[in-house]
Amino acid sequence: MTGVVSIAPVFDDKGTCTHLVGSVHDITERKQMEDVISQSEERYRTILDEMENGYFEVDLAGSFTFVNDSICKLMGYSREELIGMDNRQYQTEETAKKIYQAFNKIYRTGETAKAIEEEYIRKDGTIGFAELSVSLVRDAEGKPIGFRGVSHDITERKRAEAALRESEEKYRTILQDMDDVYFEVDIKGNITFVNSSSCKMSGYSEEELTGTSFKKISIPDGIEKIVQYFGEIFLTGKTGKPFLWNLVKKNREQGFFELVASLIRDKQGKPIGFRGIGRDVTERKLAEEVLQQALASLRKAFGTTIQVMVSAVEMRDPYTSGHQTRSADIARAIATEMGLPRDKIDGIRLAGSIHDIGKLSVPAEILAKPTKLTDLEFSLIKEHPQVGYEMLKDVESPWPLAQIVYQHHERMNGSGYPRNLKGDEILLEARIMAVADVVEAMASHRPYRPGLGIEAALEEIEKNRGILYDAAVADACLRLFREKNYQIR
């Protein structure tokens, strides 16, 4: 038992102490309660000191009345230095004002405040940042006597945010200053960001473009193509190939931009939009259109010139009227069967239509002679490829017309004329022309003999395949007539 003893003396009439009177008060229960409270306080104080987050208590004036070890570590002060320290001693005037307003609101409302950001100055002068959760402390009668709070250090996060902002600002400046167009759109195709060049080249302001669907500024005929372009990027996840986008500028003029776009993903890898860079090629596109128009005019004029030449030959040699045109048609069909490019096929057709242009130099009576030619007469005929070459060699053309005309009587084994070329020395176009010329000539009527028929012509090609005539060309010709029923018109 724990007790409190009270002793008092007893005196007689003469004032002499005769004895003592005492009493004992049992306080065992009270002492046990005090020990429990002391142990509890010690336990919670240990928890507060060992926790990673800071814990503090301040009075109504803002001076520390208690801090845990984490607060001391964060701020670089000892506990003795911090107790009694006013917040204005470790905060800038601006921060102190903000904190005062936040704590004043807590005082007035009695509500706990969370996520209060605080900038503080450490003992060594460096800056730190903390996020506070603060509540009001009241006495036994409920009267406010101070504040308690938990402080979470966010210095590293704030530095990372500042670095990120600086990095974003740097790259944003680069994007804004670059001459090329840069844009970002969401998955639905709504524009979320554009740089200055995008605005300058389209005529729209950033406000007008942001939030606008890509479709609204695309020409109607091009919407499906651009949707397919972004759709392919979405499905494959790969950067798209250069794409020509035709838009309508604010002034209603059309603009052409060559774009390359890629997918934007969030942190989990989920597609959230597209980003792209583009170059204004409007001037180049318009120049190309002008060039195409000029080329079309030249082609038309060139075609007219060719037709005049064809007519001139046929007027001199009425018996072979149509030979050049029919030979050109056969040559074009063979080239198509071989899968040659469209441009090369066009060149072969034109060369075929004038391959006998050199016959203009041969006397008409020789061309129309109904009997067998003498050696001298045939030698004159054999000069027509050379003459044709001389007539065409200075003609400006995207195709080697002069050489095709020059070589159309050459043969793969070198037995042809006029230069006895063989194998790869002969242009592919000329090899095609040679087969077409023989097939048409044998199948058609001549002054000195009736037509031999298409089968005789094909037998000639088949018999001399790889000898006189190019094997691939011969195969295409035979396939054309025998399998695909091509007819000479």
Nearest residue to 232 (alpha-carbon basis) of 192, 265, 263:
263
**pLDDT at residue 224, rounded to an integer:** 86
Q: What is the token pair recorded at 364?
A: 């008409």
Taking a C-beta distance cutoff of 8 angstroms, is the pair 438, 452 a contact?
no
User: In CATH terms, are 51-159 and 287-482 the same topology?
Assistant: no
Q: What is the CA radius of gyration of the chain?
A: 51
pTM over 0.85: no
Q: What is the pLDDT of residues 5-47, one digit of tens each?
A: 566 666 666 667 676 655 555 555 555 555 444 444 455 555 5
Query: What CA–CA distance (Å, rounded) separates 328 from 460?
Result: 19
**pLDDT at residue 37, rounded to an integer:** 43
Query: What CA–CA distance (Å, rounded) separates 258 from 246?
Result: 9
Site of tokens 């603060």: 134
Nearest residue to 146 (alpha-carbon basis) of 53, 43, 42, 66:
66
Q: What is the pLDDT of residues 384-439, one digit of tens each?
A: 888 888 888 877 778 888 899 999 999 999 999 999 999 999 999 999 999 999 99
Q: What is the pLDDT of residues 95-116, one digit of tens each?
A: 899 999 999 999 999 999 988 8
Q: What is the token pair recorded at 405?
A: 């005309």
Q: Name the pLDDT band for 300 (thresholds 50, 70, 90).
A: low
Per-residue pLDDT, averaged over 276-288, amounts to 76
Query: What CA–CA distance (Å, rounded) separates 385 from 407?
Result: 7
Query: What CA–CA distance (Å, rounded) separates 313 from 328?
Result: 15
Q: How many angstroms separate the Cα of 181 from the Cα of each of 139, 191, 279, 326, 487?
A: 66, 13, 6, 53, 55
| φ/ψ bin of 85: left (φ > 0), alpha (ψ from -120 to 50), beta (otherwise) | beta
**pLDDT at residue 123, rounded to an integer:** 92
What CATH topology corresponds to 179-280?
Beta-Lactamase (3.30.450)
Taking a C-beta distance cutoff of 8 angstroms, is the pair 214, 189 a contact?
yes
**pLDDT at residue 36, rounded to an integer:** 44
**pLDDT at residue 40, rounded to an integer:** 47
Rounded to the nearest 10°, the torsion over CA 478, 480, 483, 488 is: -100
- Those residues whose C-beta lies under 8 Å from the C-beta of residue 53, and which sit 6 or more positions away, are 70, 150, 151, 152, 153
**pLDDT at residue 157, rounded to an integer:** 84
**pLDDT at residue 420, rounded to an integer:** 93
Per-residue pLDDT, averaged over 233-252, amounts to 86
State the CB neighbour count (10 A cutoff) for residue 312: 14
Domain 287-482: CATH class, spelled out? mainly alpha
**pLDDT at residue 435, rounded to an integer:** 93
What CATH topology corresponds to 51-159?
Beta-Lactamase (3.30.450)
Q: Name the pLDDT band for 3 (thresholds 50, 70, 90).
A: low
Q: Name the pLDDT band for 4 (thresholds 50, 70, 90).
A: low
Taking a C-beta distance cutoff of 8 angstroms, is the pair 325, 353 a contact?
yes
What is the edge-to-edge ordering of all strands in the sheet holding 181-186?
Answer: 191-194, 181-186, 271-280, 254-265, 243-248
Domain boundaries of the chain, sorted by first residue: 51-159, 179-280, 287-482
Q: Name the pLDDT band for 337 (thresholds 50, 70, 90).
A: very high
Q: How many angstroms separate the Cα of 212 from the Cα of each of 151, 191, 265?
A: 44, 6, 21
Q: Does 487 score more than 70 pLDDT?
A: yes
Q: Does 158 score more than 70 pLDDT?
A: yes
Residue environment code for 428-457, b if the CB has 16+ CB neighbours within 10 A, otherwise e: bbbbbbbbbbbbbbbbbeeeeeeebebeeb
- Those residues whose C-beta lies under 8 Å from the C-beta of residue 364, and which sit 6 or more positions away, are 316, 317
Q: What is the pLDDT of residues 306-327, one digit of tens each?
A: 666 666 666 666 555 578 888 8
DSSP 406-467: HHTT--TTS--SSS---GGGS-HHHHHHHHHHHHHHHHS-BTTB----HHHHHHHHHHTBTT
Per-residue pLDDT, averaged over 355-365, amounts to 76
What share of the chain in percent tops pLDDT 70? 77
Per-residue pLDDT, averaged over 214-239, amounts to 86
Single-letter residue type at 372: K
Three-state secondary-structure class, residue 259: strand
DSSP 335-377: HHHTT--HHHHHHHHHHHHTTTGGGGGS-HHHHT-SSPPPHHH
Q: Name the pLDDT band for 478 (thresholds 50, 70, 90).
A: very high
Q: Does 346 score more than 70 pLDDT?
A: yes
Q: What is the pLDDT of residues 46-81, one digit of tens each?
A: 555 556 788 899 999 899 999 888 888 889 999 899
Q: How many angstroms separate the Cα of 24 from the Cα of each of 18, 21, 27?
A: 21, 11, 10
**pLDDT at residue 367, rounded to an integer:** 67
Q: What is the pLDDT of residues 159-189, one digit of tens each?
A: 877 776 776 666 666 566 667 788 888 998 8
Q: Does 445 score more than 70 pLDDT?
A: no
Task: Tell whether omega for the bond before 418 is within 30 degrees of 0, i.e. cis.
Answer: yes
Q: What is the mean pLDDT of the chain?
A: 81
Taking a C-beta distance cutoff of 8 angstroms, is the pair 68, 93 a contact?
no
DSSP 285-342: HHHHHHHHHHHHHHHHHHHHHHHHHHHHHHHH-GGGTTHHHHHHHHHHHHHHHTT--H
Query: What CA–CA distance (Å, rounded) separates 243 from 264?
Result: 18
CA angle (28, 32, 34) in 5-degree steps = 120
